[in-house]
Amino acid sequence: MPNSTNSGVVMSLAGKVALITGGSRGIGAATVRLFHQAGAKVVFSYRTSAQQAEALVQECGGPQFCRAIQQPLYTPEDGQALVIAAIAAFGSLDCAILNHGIWPSHDAPIATMTTAQWRDTLGTNLDSVFGVVRAAVAQMQSQPLMNGVRGHIVLVSSTAGQRGEAFHADYAATKGALISLTKSLSSELIGQGIHCNCVAPGWVATEMSSDVLSNPETSKKLLSLIPLGRAAHVDEIAAPILFLCTPLAGFISGEIFNVNGGAVLAG
């Protein structure tokens, strides 16, 4: 007979500390909420959205459970400073979620793309990621193995990193680099108990994509390429990120986890 007291499968991160970059809005804010609900203490970064950041901290129970750190992320040193602040907040680091990034919404043909735009996108989407990962790994390596695990790193890439994106070569290049970084980190670190995986969303309804998705003509064209026929909700990206940091994903490392509504990618 079925066990009537079975309350279902629980994805718990009780007693863990998570750092989530770009956590005040969109996918990041949804991930902060979900990790808090799973029992983790959460530190998240933001750049300018102070009111939204403070509201999210209060929503998650206040500074005893959740901290917001205003930290620009352009350089490796910026990333290192954020990790130092996160460790100071709660004393350890078990999960590092690299979610921050920029996507210049205007079309920029490669023949006329400015060096400033290229450097800005690479600085934010790649250089600062290196700084966070470097410091997070160093911290995790100093922590004891717990059930064979020292920590989890999840990089947020994009379908653009797999199939490219015309007129957005800067963005696609950085997201493709995160996929390669994921595989490199997994090969290097899994033997030390540090799991590294990547979530690659397709189109997601966020503030960053709102201009494109609110344009009827552009939106119709984009959604026609998604078999599910719609953009993702932020919670549908946050949930796979959480899963990859739980014991349920204990045999997964180096994976590129596609979350794209059935827009299967070739190559």
What are the residue numbers of the active site?
171
End-to-end, the C-alpha distance of the chain in Å comes to: 47
Measured CA to CA, the distance from residue 103 to residue 211 in angstroms comes to 12
Measured CA to CA, the distance from residue 125 to residue 70 in angstroms comes to 17
Q: Are 32 and 44 in contact (CB under 8 A)?
A: yes
Burial of 255 (0-12, 13-18, 19+ CB in 10 A): middle
Nearest to 213 by CA among 73, 53, 26: 26
Question: Which residues neighbour 48 within 8 Å (Cβ) at sequence distance 6 or greater?
Answer: none
Q: How many CB atoms lie within 10 A of CB 90?
A: 20
Measured CA to CA, the distance from residue 196 to residue 151 in angstroms comes to 9
Question: Which residues neighbour 196 within 8 Å (Cβ) at sequence distance 6 or greater?
Answer: 152, 153, 154, 155, 182, 185, 186, 189, 190, 253, 254
> Can you tell me which residue has the tokens 């595989």?
183
Which pair of tokens denotes residue 186? 């997994």
Tell me, rounded to whole angstroms, the distance of Cα 132 from its chain centroid: 12
